[in-house]
Each structure stands twice: as structure tokens, then as C-alpha cells.
Amino acid sequence: MLRTKTLVNPSLLIFCLSLSALAQDSSSWKVKPEWVRAHEMFLASDAMRGRGSATADELVAATYVASQFERFGLKPGAPDGTFIQRVELVQPLMEGKPTLTAQNSGISLEQGRDFLLSRTDGQGLSGPLLKITAANQGTARFQPGSVVLLASDLGEESRAVARRAVMAGAKALLRVDPRLTPEKMQAVSGEGGSIHPHLTGSTGGVMGAGFTVVSLTSNAGDQLARLPDGTTISLQLQTKDTPRYSYNAVGVLPGKNSSPDAQVLLLSAHLDHLGIGTPVNGDSIYNGADDDASGTTAVIELAHALASGQALQRTVYFVCYGSEELGGLGSTYFREHPPIPLEHIAANLEFEMIGDQDPKMPKGKMLLTGWDRSNLGPTLVQHGALLGDDPYPEQHFFERSDNYPLALKGVVAHTAGGWGTPPTYHKPDDDLAHLDFSFMTEAIQSLIEPLRWLANSDFVPHWLPGKQPHGRE
């Protein structure tokens, strides 16, 4: 049974949003906390069921964002002349039971008896085994294509080690889950695991291309742990492909400079979250108020502010992507099907999880991922933006948000964020009760004039020498 939380109040939502119609002088524009709260009340309500990636709930969220863009006077920005860009995905469906084998060992494990597929792109795989324990996790060298077995003694380090493995190009993560009792395995024996959709012609998005997660029983984990590193581990499965769709909301504020080679700005966030998931304390709705309804709110209110002032020199695109949680599928699709040539995008600023202040940052400041890669952040700070250097370089946040697909193509693209990994991260209690609305409001407010300056200037940010990303780093 789901824990009951406050649902969106339509009357209050309409009242709060109607306040935005009050005229304000563009030079003294003030973002109102009730506007910020009203967007969150809708996007992060239980009624939205967590805005699961590539679901009907995600489409509702995209439609809400599109309606705000239109209300503020933005023009449709998708390539087909609408406000919503439909992202074409392929969804594999499992046929039969997957098996996991180890070459020349006689070991053959079966889905539902020995393991569960926690995540897969629907592709079979084969690669050399690499065992990671607490003793060698600091010195292990991950290789692309490896199958990584995470020992149970890693404890809290397991997540960080897994992230390093994926960033290095590991094909699969194998982890022992003592909770996989025979009773639980029997209950899910007919299931194939969570099969992630992918873009046509690829196995995933730029931020999560084609890796598999396998949860092993203790007995199965013990069998694999006795094998030497380098043993070829293979996963066999059969799937059939079906179509599936995700959705990007795209609005554009046309600038005065309409020349064919004019530079534009891109402000973005992702509007999806995890949807309905494993219950925690009776709650199975992963609301995603911080991740990333907060960033979506920032994009909406920046569109509100910039559209309410005098016409800007540069055109500004406002985009809220779908399916970020599936590896950046929405942003990768946007990159491959852009409404304008990518070389015309002067800069992209992504907003991710600005719902709370990071305890490592100076009071009131957001972190900017990849701070030392370009001159964009320091320049915006000179004009009043509350931004600072990312204090978590080891977390690779720069490569973990929707700025990254564009950055790989040369666009100067960064993410502005709040607390990188708050206690509510990817949990059902990422809800309105855990947002700092004062911080959110001031953070958004601090960017209005710097972005207005950027849109009216001829300044073009650039990567610093040797700092432009070129793939896995």
C-alpha cells in the first residue's frame, strides 16, 4: 500500500501560476517562491507517479512544461514545429530464461534460480572476469568489456566501485545479494529483469551505454568468486524488439539576431525520474522533487523571466529532456536530431538537482560541473551568478548529466547543481518536504541577469586547452 502524501491542489496551482501574469519591470524581475512551489507541487506530486522515463507520466510532464513555454510566449522549438519532440526508442522484450556461464568451468547459472537481471539492454555479452574486493578495489584497473564481480565485503564502497567500472566501459556488474532467498527467486522466476530501452542503432545513451547488472544468490556468487580473473563469463538471452517513446519539451525565445550563422543559448534539465519502484517504508512512488523537478522548474522560470523582458539579441532554446535516468536518451536524441546545427549553440547550461544546498559549497552557491574545463562558469560569476567549482571531481558529475552528450560534440556545456548526492537521492522521500525553496528561488534568481547579459553579448565561451571531453575519461 502506498504511503499517502499531499497531492497537487489544482485551485492552488492555478492561483499561484496566475500570479506570474503580473507585469514586472525586466530589470528588477523577481522569481517568486510560490511560482517555484507550484511547479513542484504538480511535477513531484503522487499524481505524476514519479514521472517514469519513457512512460505516459513522462508525456504528461512534458506537456505541462510545453504549456508553460507557450503561456510565456515562447515559440515551438522541436524540429517538427511543435513543443514536444518524440524520442524514438527500441524496447527489447525477454523471450525465455537467460543463462550465465563461465568458460571451461562447468558453471551454468539460470535466471530465477541463481540470479536476477537487475538491469540489461537486452543484449547478450561475453567478457573477462575481474573480481573486486575490499583489498584490491583501490588498485584494480578496469578494462573496457570486462565483467566485474563485486565482493560483498566492499560494503558502502560498492556503489563508487561500480561507477568507476561503468565509466571505464565494463560490460556487466555482478553483485551478490544475500536477500535472494529461494522463496524470492521462485516469485520472480518468470521475470526477465529490467530491460532498458535504447535508441535505434545503439545500445544505450551517452551516459549509460549498454551495461548489465546481475544480482547473484550467495551460492552463485561463491562459485564465481573461486574462478581466476580473466575467465570468460557469458550471458545468453533472447529478446524481440518493440517500439517505445520518450518525450522532450522544447521551446524557443527568438532573438533579434536572425542571421543564418547566429549563435544561440540552450538552457536545459531533465523532466523524468524513476517512476514506481521498490517500496521503502510503504512508499513506492519515487517523486523526484529534487531529481530533477527542481531543474525543470529552473528552466521554466528562466523562460518566464527572459521572455518577460525586452527582446534579446541571441535566440534562447529551453529544453526539458526525457529518459535521462535511462542513460541520457532524450538528450542524446536531441543531439542527433537538433532544431539547429550544434555548432550554432554558443553554450548549454543544464540544471540538475538544485533543490538543496550542498554542504561543501559556500552558502547560497550552486556547483558547476567541469568548472575548470571552460571559461563559462567564471564569466557568469563575474556577472552575479551564484556558481562555484564542483567539490566532487571523483564523482564525475560532469559526465553524468544531460550536458555531456552535447559536450562530446564540442558544445561548451556544463551542469549547475545543488547537493550532488543528498540523503534522498533516488529514494521515495525525494519529495516536496525535503526541498529548500529559498535556496532554489535565489539560485534561479541569480542567473537571470547573467544569462540576459550572455544573450545580449557577443561573448562565446570556449574550452580551455586540453579540457574538451572526447569520451570516457
Separation in Å, CA 421 to CA 115, 150, 234, 424, 437: 29, 22, 33, 8, 18
Please tell me the predicted confidence (pLDDT) of residue 165: 86
Query: Which residues face 94 on adjacent strands?
Result: 239
10-88+245-456 topology per CATH: Aminopeptidase (3.40.630)
- The sign of the CA dihedral 415, 417, 419, 424 is negative
CATH topology of 10-88+245-456 equal to that of 90-243? no
Q: Which of 5, 429, 58 is CA-nearest to residue 273?
A: 58
Please tell me the predicted confidence (pLDDT) of residue 193: 52
Separation in Å, CA 342 to CA 138, 242, 269, 350, 406: 39, 30, 18, 16, 8
What are the structural domain ranges in the chain?
10-88+245-456, 90-243
- The sign of the CA dihedral 65, 71, 76, 82 is positive
Mean pLDDT per segment of 10 residues, for the chain of length 473 residues?
A: 42 44 60 98 98 97 98 97 96 87 94 85 89 86 91 79 83 88 66 72 60 89 94 92 95 94 97 94 96 97 96 98 94 96 97 97 96 97 97 91 96 96 95 97 97 97 94 55
Q: Model's pTM, two decimal places? A: 0.84
Please tell me the predicted confidence (pLDDT) of residue 141: 87
Four-point Cα dihedral 173, 178, 179, 184, nearest 10:
80
Residue type, 419: W
| Distance separating the N- and C-terminal Cα atoms of the chain | 43
What span, in angstroms and rounded, lies between the C-alpha atoms of 445 and 454? 15
Spell out the residues 6+ positions from residue 201 whose beta carbon is closer than 8 angstroms to its own: none
What span, in angstroms and rounded, lies between the C-alpha atoms of 5 and 46? 7
Under 8 Å between Cβ of 75 and 66: no
Please tell me the predicted confidence (pLDDT) of residue 353: 97
Separation in Å, CA 456 to CA 263, 316, 382, 404: 11, 11, 15, 25
- At the top level of CATH, which class does the domain 90-243 belong to? alpha beta
